[in-house]
Amino acid sequence: MSVEQGDAAPAFSMPASSGRTVSLASMKGRPFVLYFYPKANTSGCTKEACAFQEALPALGKLGIEVIGVSPDKMPPIEKFAAKYELTFPLASDESHAVADKYGTWVEKSMYGRKYMGMERSTFLIDKAGKIARVWRKVSVAGHAAEVMEAAQTLKR
C-alpha cells in the first residue's frame, strides 16, 4: 500500500522518545511533518534529524510539528535523541506496521543482496489529516528546507 498527495493520512499510534506516544488522532486539527528514516545514529539519518531540529523554530511559527519514525527499538532511539538534543518526538515502528500503511517499508538492494527496509520518505500532513505533500527516496541535503517551503503554502 502507498499513500499519495490528497489521500487521508493513515492512522497510527507509536511509542516515541521522552516517554511520549504519537498518534494521528492526537495531531487532529494540527499540520505536521511525518518523516521515515532507516536507522538512528547513522550519518544520513543524523544529518536529516539535525536539519529538522534546526528548522523546528521556523516550522513552529507556522504551527507545524515534526515526528520522525524508524524501525529501531526505543533504547537506540532515546540515545539518538539525547545525543543530538532532538526535542521533537522520534517514534519506534518496530513492526513496520505504520511504514507499511505509508508505503515506506520497501525492498532494497545492497551489493546484490535484496532485503526489506525503510525508505527515507517524508509526508506533510495538513490540519484536516490529508497528505499535502509526499517526498520519496529523499536526498538529505536541503530536504528540511524543501519541506519548510512546502509547509509555508499550507492553509492555516
The mean predicted confidence, pLDDT, of the chain is: 94
Beta strands in the chain (DSSP E): 13-16, 20-23, 32-36, 65-70, 90-92, 105-110, 113-118, 121-125, 131-135
Among residues 69, 61, 82, 66, the alpha carbon closest in space to that of 14 is found at: 69
Q: What is the pLDDT of residues 66-82, one digit of tens each?
A: 999 999 999 999 999 99
Nearest alpha carbon to residue 72 among 149, 127, 17: 17
pLDDT of res. 153: 87
Q: Which of 33, 45, 69, 118 is catalytic?
A: 45
How many domains would you assign to the chain?
Answer: 1
In a domain, 85, yes or no: yes
Q: Is residue 15 part of a domain?
A: no
The bridge status of strand 32-36 relative to strand 105-110 is unpaired
pLDDT confidence band for 110 (50 / 70 / 90):
confident
pTM metric for this prediction? 0.95
Look-up: residue for cell 543524523?
46
Percent of the chain predicted with pLDDT > 70: 98
* 16 belongs to a structural domain: no
Range of the domain at 114: 28-151
104 within some domain: yes
Q: What is the pLDDT of residue 156?
A: 58
**Could you tell me the CATH number of the domain that includes residue 48?**
3.40.30.10
Q: Does residue 23 lie in a domain region?
A: no
Give the C-alpha separation, 109 to 17, whole Å.
Answer: 30
Average pLDDT over residues 13-37: 96
Q: Is 45 a catalytic residue?
A: yes
HSE of 50 in the Cβ direction (CA atoms, 13 Å)?
Answer: 11
Which of the four pLDDT bands, split at 50, 70 and 90, describes residue 135?
Answer: very high
Give 50's pLDDT tier (boundaries 50, 70, 90).
Answer: very high
- Single-letter amino acid code for the residue at 127: K
Residue 154 pLDDT:
83
